[in-house]
Amino acid sequence: MLEHINSLEVKLGSRLVGQIAQTPQGKIVFEYSPDFLTNGFSISPFYLPLKQGLFTAPVEPFEGNFGVFNDSMPDGWGNLLLDRFLTSQGIALNSLSVLDRLSLIGTSGMGALKYFPDQKIKPEMDTSDLTFLAREVQKVISETDYSEHIELLIGVGGSPGGARPKALIREGGESWMVKFPSSIDPSGLGGLEFEYSLIARKCGIEMPETRLFENKYFGVKRFDRDHDQSIHMHTASGLLNASHRYPSLDYTELIKASFALTRDIEDSYKLFRQMVFNVLTGNRDDHTKNFSFLYTGKKWVLSPAYDLAPNGGFNGNHSTTIAGQGQPTKSDIFEVGTQVGLKKSRLLHIFDEVYENCDSIRQGQW
């Protein structure tokens, strides 16, 4: 039976980061632990600086939650699974608070943050059998067949963001995320995303290792894991309090925020390169949750690129605008570089390199 939660401990590994609580007025507040204040780091530098005192989360855009903890929450597919299971248990969804849902994530979330008490749903079995998992996914999607393994699907893929069904599996001693097609995906999307990942790497974009499982399921090696060690991860959405459900950011702002966080100009050039790739290849689903940062080696770094595949975006526009434009021109692309102070000669080289290497999937006239 689900226990309603008024406060949660937040841990990073075995270290107590702090405590989240809900006030009698319904506000979500957070405070760092004394030990973490002395020996830790800011888990969200722009909105939760490492200092004493009580922080209060804004009402928007995360329904009263802090951005860094919202990063731990599931999105479309994970919420679908969780809500179906809770409803089957007679639990009214509108009775659940933000803290209740975080406790249901518990120790199973992406990144390194863990929440206690841990009320995550424990699957009745453990499997990495992709054929079996794909069959159970299709039962949920079709709504014409009942899956007896909702708990299993939650356990293996209920925490990652995104609308597409996913499974977190172990392969060769490493952690992988494998995607299954949704009801609206074209056939062969897994192979197409795999092709995009290879071409992106050819274009000079830093990518995690990718694989096409069983010749049809796209898989990506998790970069929030280093063997059995979890790495703290923060999306641009959570970092900047910028919703991913509608256009809320421009690449100019994203690159400026990246430099303010990492202090590494190379990360700025990496984001410019990824922007060029997204524009030239028609990936308009470049929303704020599709860019992340990792805290590793006692510093923040830009994560490898992910979710690079053709997508119509927000009403045919890029979800992250390019110099204010949802359907940019070449001059808009370079305007972003100019606004963030990058060297024009290097920007020209990056554009040409991406242009030449993505010719097989390039869209439009440039």
**Which residues face 295 on adjacent strands?**
232, 300
pTM, rounded to two decimals: 0.94
Q: What is the number of other CB atoms lying within 10 angstroms of the CB of residue 310?
A: 18
- Tokens for 164, please give them: 């597409």
β-bridge pairing 249-250 and 320-321 = parallel
Separation between Cα atoms, residue 300 and residue 257, nearest integer Å: 12
Closest to 43 in 3D by CA, of 223, 294, 258? 294
**Which residues face 357 on adjacent strands?**
none
| Residue bearing tokens 């809320």 | 248
Closest to 204 in 3D by CA, of 351, 319, 313? 351
DSSP 309: S
Contact 168, 180 (CB under 8 A): no
Contact 16, 9 (CB under 8 A): yes
**Which residues face 211 on adjacent strands?**
219
> Tens-digit pLDDT profile for the chain (366 aa)?
688 889 999 999 899 999 999 999 989 999 999 999 999 999 999 999 999 999 999 999 999 999 999 999 988 888 888 888 888 888 888 888 999 999 999 999 999 999 999 999 887 667 778 999 988 888 888 776 556 788 888 888 766 766 789 999 998 889 999 999 877 777 788 999 999 999 999 999 999 999 999 999 999 999 999 988 999 999 999 999 999 988 999 999 999 999 999 999 999 999 999 999 999 999 999 999 999 999 999 999 999 999 998 888 888 999 999 999 999 999 999 999 999 999 999 999 999 999 999 999 999 877
Separation between Cα atoms, residue 141 and residue 159, nearest integer Å: 17
- Residues near 268 by beta carbon (within 8 Å), at least 6 away in sequence: 255, 258, 259, 340, 342
The answer, yes or no, to whether the previous bond of 304 is cis (omega within 30 of 0) is no
Q: What is the CA radius of gyration of the chain?
A: 21
- Give the DSSP H/E element, type plus range, for residue 90: none
Separation between Cα atoms, residue 32 and residue 26, nearest integer Å: 20
Write down the pLDDT at residue 146. 58
Write down the pLDDT at residue 366. 79
